[in-house]
Amino acid sequence: MTHKYRYLLLICFVLAQLSGVAQAKKETEAERKAKMQWFGDAKLGIFIHWGIYAVQGIPESWSFFNNYISHEDYMKQLAGFTAAQYRPEEWAALIKESGARYAVITTKHHDGVALWDSKKGGLNTKLHTPAKRDVLTPFVAALRKNNLKTGFYFSLPDWSYPDYDVFTRTRTRYNLTQEPKRWQKFLGYYQGQLQELSQRYNPDLYWFDGDWEHNAEQWQSQKVREMLLGYNKNVIINSRLNHYGDYATPEQGVPVVRPQDAYWELCLTMNDSWGYSPHDHHYKSANQIIRTFADCIGNGGNLLLDIGPKPDGTIPAEQVALLKALGRWTNKHQEAIFGTVAGLPEGHFYGSTTLSADRKKLYLFLPTQPQESIQVKGLLSDVKSVTLVGNKTPLPFEKQGNSTFINVPASGHDQDLTVVALSFDEPLRVGEPAPEKIALATLQTKKEIPPVDVNRILRQLADNVGQGWNPFAATALQPDGAEVRNLKIADKRIEDWVRKHAEAFYKTRAGLPAGHYAGATALSEDCQTLYLFVNGKPNGPIVLKGLKNKIHRSRVVGQGTLLSHEIFNKQYWSDIPGIIYLNVPEAVLDQEMTVIALLLDKPVELHREEIKPIESN
């Protein structure tokens, strides 16, 4: 009996010790914050979708899952994956040149083809393709040689593995409750592959995908997280492990409303495809990508920008050019990007902003080359100095009422996106950003108005109507401007501008809430015409986010020119609207402020919900 009790006591002691170890390994909030520091500071990553789907340039894995092609025919692409011109050192150098601080590569997509020589079974590039090599190992080495963090995309589902239950959208192999041993076999397989990846490469980040096919208990998500942390206590895991991750991963759409997650990352394609597609030429411009990036970091997130190499391992020329153009801009403006935090709340500035970590520097990303000056509202801290980021040129500024106005010379503007830095002696404090209301009586009595103030008054008018305060609401103003003279506006320049753009003030009401457009907006009485106020010359096309409506027609108010627009990142199976880009020729711009009218298919409808991972294709 004594030996039995001693044995039981020993077991209890061991269990207590193991429990203590488990508790000691439980991540504290301070530890989580410390390990997430590099990710929060990194801002830019490059996503790499490389696999056999590049051979025919068809959608990765989803092609056979959706029955667009048979699984057998899809797998014939194995024979075309050669990696004959694969130069991982050149990949890593290009990624570094782009300004990215990390890369995430598809170690295995839903089709089950691994890029490393896995010993756990399944398909891989060494055993089953003409490449006859593990293509993952040299890329990891090249990343680390360039001091870039290593991220591994890993698909939880494996639609090709014989003991995974799901095969295609219409076919399953078995039911988990009826054949639990097969599911256990699959769990051992996929978790064994994760063990291989951790043991061989010790990645900095895991980017899971496909968790929607099963719940956390079935995937054993908690066990997987603890296993990965056991290999590397600082490994970062994305949200697609049934909420056992460290950061959120919205997909293909810039958030309109700032995400609540402390850490998040937008994954975005350069064209409409993740993997290489020779027929997809719908590429975003460098300007569009740079401004999307600014949107992300201004809202406290990262951008994970995707490339899709060819089956021979070369990167398409269009993608190389975009990465180089992005690198030009990030290198010039790195102080406003890396190591910064989310910028001003909405309403203070028409554009993206970031703050230095100590909040003593505010960075403004200018959506236009303003006609007269940049305006920032509601700064309570005194501005010590203002400079142009990239060359440190001092810029003149002044405070007028609730606003700070900054002048940027035409020669100082960047070809894609200009950035201005405001310095303070203290962490920035902000107050109410609402614009002061301008009364009709003020317009009727002010006669001697300096040209500078004319532009500022017109911007104030636009801000007012955008907030629901329309000084012309109770007047006889007509949409064609016919009754402007009866308004008795004292300054002819203001009267002429109001006459030209009268329809934007005729019975109009408050415009869009903040986040949809970097400027003032107004809506017609029936909410079916949207007016956009454009101050100065836009840096590229005008951007409009979160608009569910179709645009029947867009035109320049008071001038009549019809405008074209383009939509990116609209997925036909998702109700999340794409990003609208309006092209405005310089020749049609008003010398003070341009107004664009968008005729919608019905009263305005907006998307302001959280943008989530895409669970279909």
Q: Number of folded domains in the chain?
A: 3
Kindly indicate the confidence band of residue 103, based on its pLDDT and cuts at 50, 70 and 90: very high
Top-confidence range, 23-27, 101-105, 577-581: 101-105
Kindly state whether residues 82 and 38 are assigned to the same domain. yes
Q: Which helix (H) or strand (E) holds 398?
A: strand 397-400
- Statement: residue 207 has pLDDT above 60: yes
Confirm whether 209 is domain-assigned.
yes
Tell me which amino acid residue 363 is.
Answer: Y
Which residues lie closer than 8 Å to 136 by C-beta, 6 or more apart? 105, 107, 115, 116, 201
For residue 24, the model assigns a pLDDT of: 33
What pLDDT does residue 617 have? 57
The residue-averaged pLDDT of 262-281 equals: 96
Kindly state whether residues 401 and 542 are assigned to the same domain: no
Pair 308, 370 in one domain = no
Q: Is residue 243 part of a domain?
A: yes
The confidence band for 14, taking pLDDT boundaries of 50, 70 and 90, is very low
Structural domain range at position 396? 353-424
Contacts of 114 (CB under 8 A, 6+ apart): 107, 108, 122, 123, 124, 125, 193
Q: What is the mean pLDDT of residues 211-221?
A: 97
Three-class secondary structure of residue 84 per DSSP:
coil
The model's pLDDT over 387-408, given as tens digits with 9 standing for 90+, comes to: 999 999 999 999 998 999 999 9
Q: Which of 230, 194, 215 is nearest to 27 (CA)?
A: 230
Based on the fold, state whether residues 415 and 559 are members of the same structural domain.
Answer: no
The pLDDT score that the predictor gives to residue 594 is: 97
In the predicted structure, residue 225 carries a pLDDT above the cut 80: yes
Are 277 and 156 contained in the same domain? Answer: yes
pLDDT at 9 over 90: no
The secondary structure of residue 607, as a DSSP letter, is -
Q: What is the reported pLDDT for 371?
A: 84
Which of 304, 336, 368 lies at the terminal end of a domain, its last residue?
336
**Mean pLDDT in residue range 508-525:** 95
Residue with tokens 């394609």: 269
Q: What confidence score (pLDDT) does residue 450 get?
A: 86
Token pair, residue 184, equals 């256990």
**Domain end marker among 424, 457, 483:** 424
In a domain, 569, yes or no: yes
| pLDDT computed for residue 12 by the predictor | 40
- Judge whether residue 13 has pLDDT over 50: no
Residue 411: Cβ within 10 Å count:
6
Q: Give the separation between CA 280 and CA 31, rounded to whole angstroms.
A: 43
Among the candidates 336, 370, 400, a domain finishes at: 336
Q: Are residues 177 and 287 in the same domain?
A: yes
> Is 21 a domain residue?
no
Coil, helix or strand for 470? coil
Both 316 and 359 in a single domain?
A: no
Q: Are 194 and 152 in contact (CB under 8 A)?
A: no
Asked if the structure places residue 607 within a domain, the reply is: no
Average pLDDT over every residue of 188-213: 98
CATH number of the domain residue 401 falls in: 2.60.40.1180
Instruction: Tell me the pairing of strands 265-268 and 302-307.
Output: parallel
Q: Are residues 408 and 453 both part of a single domain?
A: no
CATH of the domain at 141: 3.20.20.80
197 & 292 share domain: yes
Residue 612: which pLDDT band, with cuts at 50, 70 and 90? low
DSSP secondary structure code for residue 285 in this structure: P
Burial class (CB in 10 A: 0-12, 13-18, 19+), 434: middle
According to the model, what pLDDT value does residue 329 have?
98
Task: Quick: pLDDT tens for 479-504.
Answer: 998 888 888 999 999 999 999 999 99
| 228 shares its domain with 317 | yes
What three-state secondary structure class fits 562?
strand
Q: What is the pLDDT of residues 25-45, one digit of tens each?
A: 577 888 889 999 999 999 999
Band of pLDDT at residue 3, cut at 50, 70 and 90: very low
- 178 and 137 housed in the same domain: yes
CB of 540 within 8 A of CB of 414? no
Lowest mean pLDDT, pick from 4-8, 31-35, 191-195: 4-8
Q: Is 217 contained in some domain?
A: yes
pLDDT at 615: 60
d(CA 552, CA 542): 17
Span 222-246, average pLDDT: 96
Whole-number pLDDT of residue 21: 33
Whether 383 is in a domain gets the answer yes
217 residue type, one letter = E
**Is residue 22 assigned to a domain?**
no
pLDDT band for 611, please (50, 70, 90 cuts).
Answer: low
Integer Cα distance of 23 and 599 in angstroms? 60
Q: Are 317 and 416 part of one and the same domain?
A: no
pLDDT at 337: 98
pLDDT tens string 538-559 = 989 999 999 999 999 999 999 9
